[in-house]
Structure 1
């Protein structure tokens, strides 16, 4: 019996139910990689990792849906947390000797040269230019740029989650990358509305924003536009929290308290979050920085209108249900909110679901990820393995259709 391909993931806080784009990416993709025959270990930050008693479906603290967790210590200081944990994670991987060490994000990619020096095969996923985030100062931005340079140039293979990132890797670092975007799970029909009602929200009469309380999400733009739009009987729901509470997260919460029609729910996961999407009248993403926003894909999958700033990452998702406005233009966002009251047509909802099904389907993305691993691990023999994976996926899809 052939030994399965062993893979370690590094550069994330934890999952399931931990807020963040990389964390959501891992929560959906890692179990599918395990189903495709990989031995998957996620090296996570111990203080974020959910315990088994918080997730009854999790058989133990160290495994979940075929994925093994390796919780390691990390400091609480926001500027040191990721890099120290990644350093420890590389040493852990070097001791365990996986076939592939898969590093996520350009900050953790700073440790790619160390991983190579220790004889590991390294894949790096570029989730976006984090040095553009408003929270970082000049020194941190230089470190992140260095992480991007080292990660892109030292990895055996690179994955970009969007076309703009792929093009930047090629132009700035003269390296090829494979585009494998984030994905989304198509929601079921007839989703309940207990969660919105718990926060005093009437289904079909609230604006939704989901994301961490960090400056690049530009919550204040949306709060100002919502107040100017003066939508009668509507409310604004802000879902998310802060990993490290600071002046910005406090300012968002203060602004919500100042306006009776603005509700901060805190972090929501699972069914509660799906209900918030399903019954929103419109979803808004006013960000100044994104990689490829999973929250936008999730909103699209529910067939609701989406309003997003016109940054390149948001424009990457080409869908008739999405309307873009100039970043930071509160007046333009106000008009978009007023126009969005009309909702989506049946044709737009159908096109949105088809987009998710054809471009952002997690099982397809998992197969493409394994193909990258196989190329790094097996080289010329990767084509044979890829064919086997294709056959396995085809068999699985046939079974789903029969059921």
Structure 2
């Protein structure tokens, strides 16, 4: 059997972009370099080319694109990847990060994680929302099949992009590859440490979370660690204005070991997002036995089921009340930890990888 070559577009990959990079790494680290039907070739950013790519199951080809240069990266997506596919004899292109070529003679599978630029352009800075909408529309139009990560995102893609449901494959994500903590080997947790994880885009809801923390009396107030910033943290002035300097730690981008340590110690993860395509932090927390307080929005319920405490992400007092209630009930935290472990076990990166491979083969079949 002749193996067909799949060019995987990793021009976006810099090591600092969170969920989409986790998705690409977790999926492709599980696909075999000895697949009898598919051969994988990565077309990567300069940043990724200079780092460890041993997780990728095939040849790695460096592009000239810096993933942190938005203009160069956009040009690489719109035009460069299609040229690279032809140059390197690919039978298929997989673009795993929302964007892809304007046109392509080689069939394209496009993974769309979310449509925030369509659903909530107010959360996207400056004129960037218009650019994102244009790029996503063009990529979806050029794609033979679309992959997405949740039922909620699938519904958005059908409604807002006009992609037929039969042309979409849903491949849910999973928690980290690191071994979860079982109930017999659970580390001791603090009862005064909250964790929040994410970038500083407005929809993440961190300003409301800080408002909630300020509503808790200082002598009862837990420490809140918020990770995921780059450079000067826009939350710092809010922390100062609310007088929370002694209670809040604003952390930058953390490596997996540091983040795992925080998941292991935290009383709870608080996930006050207003919008997500999937939302990995609750699943990663649950996989480590960390209780979750999360936004009551459909996609988060799709992920966390009955294993989380749900709050209105716009209601600071409700978030504060949920924090107080969980802090004051060790027994409830223990029940939530067990429920979270059971829920997280229903998601698997191996299953995500298998479903992605199936979507690639389906696209090759036309």
Match for residue 362 of structure 1?
349
Normalised by the length of structure 1, the TM-score is: 0.77
The answer as to whether partners of 1:152 and 1:169 remain within 8 angstroms in 2 is no
Q: Hey, what's the Cα distance between the residues in 2 that align with 1:64 and 1:20?
A: 17
The answer as to whether partners of 2:264 and 2:288 remain within 8 angstroms in 1 is yes
**Cα offset, 1:378, TM superposition:** 3.5
Equivalent of residue 352 in structure 1, options 316, 340, 347? 340
2:59 is the alignment partner of 1:92 = no
Q: Hey, what's the Cα distance between the residues in 1 that align with 2:315 and 2:69?
A: 30
The answer as to whether partners of 2:41 and 2:59 remain within 8 angstroms in 1 is yes
Q: Hey, what's the Cα distance between the residues in 1 that align with 2:202 and 2:17?
A: 16
Match for residue 152 of structure 1?
140
The answer as to whether partners of 2:115 and 2:157 remain within 8 angstroms in 1 is no
Q: How many corresponding residue pairs?
A: 348
Q: Which stretch shows the higher mean deviation, 67-76 or 82-91?
A: 67-76
More helix by share: 1
Equivalent of residue 25 in structure 1, options 23, 26, 29? 23
Match for residue 283 of structure 1?
269
**Cα offset, 1:12, TM superposition:** 5.6
SS of residue paired to 2:62: strand
Which segments of 5 or more consecutive residues in structure 1 lack a partner in the other structure?
A: 53-57, 194-201, 380-403
Equivalent of residue 187 in structure 1, options 138, 156, 180? 180
Q: Hey, what's the Cα distance between the residues in 1 that align with 2:55 and 2:70?
A: 29
**Cα offset, 1:292, TM superposition:** 0.3
Call closer, same or farther: CA 1:99–1:77 in 2, change over 3 Å. Answer: closer
Call closer, same or farther: CA 1:225–1:78 in 2, change over 3 Å. Answer: farther
Call closer, same or farther: CA 1:178–1:339 in 2, change over 3 Å. Answer: same
2:71 is the alignment partner of 1:80 = yes
Match for residue 389 of structure 1?
none
Q: Hey, what's the Cα distance between the residues in 2 that align with 1:174 and 1:80?
A: 27
SS of residue paired to 2:16: coil
SS of residue paired to 1:316: helix
CA displacement, residues 240-273 of structure 1 (integer Å, 9 cap, x when unaligned): 123xx5xxx5321344465111112211122221
The answer as to whether partners of 1:105 and 1:125 remain within 8 angstroms in 2 is yes
Match for residue 398 of structure 1?
none
Normalised by the length of structure 2, the TM-score is: 0.84
Equivalent of residue 62 in structure 2, options 71, 82, 101? 71
Equivalent of residue 311 in structure 1, options 289, 297, 306? 297
The answer as to whether partners of 2:290 and 2:340 remain within 8 angstroms in 1 is no
Q: Hey, what's the Cα distance between the residues in 1 that align with 2:137 and 2:198?
A: 28
**Cα offset, 1:73, TM superposition:** 3.4
Call closer, same or farther: CA 1:99–1:51 in 2, change over 3 Å. Answer: same
2:248 is the alignment partner of 1:262 = yes
The answer as to whether partners of 1:204 and 1:281 remain within 8 angstroms in 2 is yes
Q: Hey, what's the Cα distance between the residues in 2 that align with 1:304 and 1:71?
A: 39
Name the Cα RMSD after superposition.
2.9
Higher relative contact order (CA 8 A, sep 6+): 2
Q: Which stretch shows the higher mean deviation, 119-128 or 145-154?
A: 145-154
Q: Hey, what's the Cα distance between the residues in 2 that align with 1:331 and 1:31?
A: 43
SS of residue paired to 1:125: strand
The answer as to whether partners of 2:46 and 2:67 remain within 8 angstroms in 1 is no
Which segments of 5 or more consecutive residues in structure 2 lack a partner in the other structure?
A: none
SS of residue paired to 1:250: coil
Equivalent of residue 223 in structure 2, options 235, 257, 260? 235
2:131 is the alignment partner of 1:121 = no
**Cα offset, 1:277, TM superposition:** 0.8
SS of residue paired to 1:251: coil
**Cα offset, 1:32, TM superposition:** 0.7
CA displacement, residues 7-52 of structure 1 (integer Å, 9 cap, x when unaligned): 222266326x5341100111111111236724333333223x3745
**Cα offset, 1:79, TM superposition:** 4.9
**Cα offset, 1:298, TM superposition:** 0.2
